[in-house]
Structure 1
């Protein structure tokens, strides 16, 4: 893997509307955020060869809407371990997909923002935050290890 795209799910409806965190859908604003993220990726020529996605409804919707802005994209692979994952758990999952040059992972905070910090800074407690619908494009300088990535782009709706 040479490039990693980390996309936090876009804005979701409050949990009170469903009672189940995994079933929270995107809000209208969230749908626009997800589409805008996809347009940004397409405009900057960022094309994942593989897409890993949390099974939570808001993450699946974010992935589907973002990928609709890009032509001929792979179908997202749902990975239960993304939901409520630590940076270490996300690293373990990504390590299984090192055969793809560019991987996009659609998931949740705090795991996503802490994974960015871990890969770029070498420490997961130095995170800057990722608002809903934000994405980080990382270039890996070798192995998928702490401190071994460069933040090439950060975008937020």
Structure 2
């Protein structure tokens, strides 16, 4: 079975303090909490074949923390995970990646509301803007139909850092 984990970036600096939202870093608290979440995932035996991340600094930093803790050996920036990214672009990547031909475990590091909306579309085929992913929170999906993931996934995990830690 292929598992897809959608992980929101950790706590970041205030938007008002940065003229360029793409450059907002994680706060020290955000780094610590993200590392704690990563350690907890590792303790549960979770490993990712690949981590795809939004190119924004706070998401890349989150992905690097996940990798440094030992959850994956590979991190790759993926522009569609930036705010208001396109799920169809990810589906096209998925269908061409080779990961859809085998059992694998992937992580997507991005932003809210996109991760919640993508999860809804993957599970129910449409967005209802009801799933909220907290900072450093995790959604886990089993991809049931590897050739057509939209509407063909099952939700097995929706947790905030507070519940993991």
Same fold (TM over 0.5): yes
Take 1:11 and 1:90, find their aligned partners in 2: how far apart are those partners?
Answer: 25
**TM-score with structure 1 setting the length:** 0.88
Alignment of structure 1 residues 50-65 onto 2, 5 Å: 50-65=50-65
Unaligned 5+ segments in structure 2 are: none
Asked if the contact 2:67–2:75 (Cα under 8 Å) also holds between the matched residues in 1, the reply is no
Deviation at 1:126, TM superposition (A): 4.8
Q: Which residue of 2 aligns with 1:148?
A: 152
Task: Say if 1:98 and 1:138 are closer, same or farther in 2 by CA, change over 3 A.
Answer: farther
Alignment of structure 1 residues 8-157 onto 2, 5 Å: 8-70=8-70, 73-84=72-83, 85-99=85-99, 101-143=104-146, 144-157=148-161
Deviation at 1:31, TM superposition (A): 0.8
SS in 2 for 1:47: coil
**TM-score with structure 2 setting the length:** 0.84
Pairwise CA RMSD: 1.9
Unaligned 5+ segments in structure 1 are: none
Task: Say if 1:81 and 1:62 are closer, same or farther in 2 by CA, change over 3 A.
Answer: same
Number of residue pairs the alignment of both structures matches? 156
Deviation per CA, 1:104-130: give whole Å up to 9, x if none. 111112211111111122221253211
Take 2:86 and 2:134, find their aligned partners in 1: how far apart are those partners?
Answer: 18
Q: Which residue of 2 aligns with 1:2?
A: 2
